[in-house]
Amino acid sequence: MVYMKSLRITIVSALFFVSTFLVLLICLVVTITMNNAAKILEISTKNHLIASARAASHLLTVEELDRFHTMEDTKKSEWDDVHRRLMTFAEQYQVLYVYYWRDYGDGRIQYIIDNDPDPQTRATPGVFFEINNPEDPVTAVAVPQVLAGSDYTTDLGRYTESWGGLISAIVPVFNRDGSVYCAAGVDLSDAIILAQHRNIIVLRILLIVSLLLSLLAGGAGIRFYRKKALQSESANIAKSQFLSTMSHEIRTPMNAVIGISELALREKDASPKIRTYITKIKQAGTSLLAIINDILDLSKIEAGKMEISPGRYDLASLLNDVVTIIGVWLHEKPLDFRVTIADSLPSTLWGDEIRIRQILLNLLTNAVKYTQGGYIEFTVSGEAAGDTILMKFAVTDTGIGIKKEDLDKLFRSFVRFDLDQNRDIEGTGLGLAITYTLCRLMGGSVSATSVYGSGSTFTVTLLQKILDAKPMKYTAPAYEDDPSAQADSVVQFTAPDARVLIVDDISINLMVAEGLLAPYKMNIDCCTSGQEALRLAEENNYDFILMDHIMPGMDGIETAAKIRSSQKVRGDLPIIALTANAVAGMKEMFLSKGFSDYLSKPIDIADIDTVIRKWLPGKKQIR
In-domain check, residue 239 = yes
550 and 498 together in one domain? yes
pLDDT for residue 2:
37
In-domain check, residue 252 = no
Mean of the pLDDT values across residues 596-616?
83
Mean of the pLDDT values across residues 460-482?
79
pLDDT for residue 429:
56
pLDDT for residue 461:
96
pLDDT for residue 259:
34
pLDDT at 233 over 60: no
Secondary structure of residue 576 in the 3-state scheme? strand
Domain of residue 508, residue span: 483-620
Contact 344, 315 (CB under 8 A): no
pLDDT at 350 over 80: yes
Higher pLDDT, 66 or 278: 66
525 and 376 together in one domain? no
465 and 487 together in one domain? no
Instruction: Give the highest mean pLDDT range of 164-168, 292-296, 306-310.
Output: 306-310
In-domain check, residue 478 = no
Mean of the pLDDT values across residues 185-210?
69
In-domain check, residue 477 = no
Higher pLDDT, 388 or 196: 388
pLDDT for residue 499:
95
Total length of the chain: 623
pLDDT for residue 242:
41
214 and 173 together in one domain? no
The rounded percent of the chain whose pLDDT value lies above 90 is 23
In-domain check, residue 253 = no
Least confident of 255-259, 276-280, 460-464: 255-259
Strand arrangement, sheet containing 108-114: 128-130, 108-114, 97-103, 180-189, 166-174, 152-153
141 and 90 together in one domain? yes
How far apart (Å, rounded) are the C-alpha atoms in residues 310 and 349? 10
In-domain check, residue 87 = yes
204 and 183 together in one domain? no
Q: Of 141, 157, 189, which one is at a domain's C-terminal end?
A: 189
Mean of the pLDDT values across residues 293-315?
68
The residue among 149, 458, 505 whose CA lies nearest residue 318 is 505
Residue 238, Cβ density class (10 Å: 0-12 exposed, 13-18 middle, ≥19 buried): exposed
Q: Is the dihedral of CA 121, 122, 128, 132 positive or negative?
A: positive
Q: Domain holding 561: CATH number?
A: 3.40.50.2300
pLDDT digits (tens, 9 = 90+) for 546-601: 998 888 888 999 999 999 999 999 989 999 998 765 555 677 888 999 999 988 76
pLDDT digits (tens, 9 = 90+) for 205-218: 766 666 666 666 65
Higher pLDDT, 234 or 608: 608
pLDDT digits (tens, 9 = 90+) for 115-146: 888 777 777 776 777 766 666 666 667 777 88
Mean of the pLDDT values across residues 358-370?
87
465 and 340 together in one domain? yes
The region, left, alpha or beta by phi > 0 then psi within -120 to 50, assigned to residue 45 is alpha
Contact 85, 100 (CB under 8 A): no
451 and 344 together in one domain? yes
How far apart (Å, rounded) are the C-alpha atoms in residues 411 and 434? 8
For 158, 337, 431, 481, the CA distances from 290, given in Å and listed in that order, are 35, 22, 9, 21
363 and 446 together in one domain? yes
Instruction: Give the highest mean pLDDT range of 49-63, 107-121, 398-412.
Output: 49-63
Q: How many domains is the chain built from?
A: 5
Q: Of 151, 172, 189, which one is at a domain's C-terminal end?
A: 189
Q: Domain holding 114: CATH number?
A: 3.30.450.20
Q: Quick one: which H or E segment has residue 514? A: helix 507-517
β-partners of residue 336 are 375
pLDDT for residue 496:
92
Mean of the pLDDT values across residues 157-183?
75
pLDDT at 490 over 90: no
Mean of the pLDDT values across residues 155-181?
73
pLDDT digits (tens, 9 = 90+) for 396-449: 999 888 888 888 777 765 455 554 454 444 444 567 888 888 898 899 999 999
The residue among 222, 50, 228 whose CA lies nearest residue 150 is 50
415 and 499 together in one domain? no
Mean of the pLDDT values across residues 469-496?
67
Least confident of 227-241, 274-288, 428-442: 227-241
In-domain check, residue 156 = yes
Q: Of 448, 471, 494, which one is at a domain's C-terminal end?
A: 471
In-domain check, residue 476 = no
The residue among 159, 146, 99, 106 whose CA lies nearest residue 129 is 106
The residue among 151, 155, 133, 129 whose CA lies nearest residue 142 is 151
Report the chain's mean pLDDT, rounded to a whole number. 76
pLDDT for residue 260:
39
pLDDT for residue 240:
37
434 and 571 together in one domain? no
Least confident of 176-185, 190-199, 293-302: 293-302
546 and 416 together in one domain? no
- Residue 553's contacts (CB-CB under 8 Å, 6 or more residues apart) are 92, 529, 530, 531
Higher pLDDT, 141 or 249: 141
Higher pLDDT, 295 or 346: 346
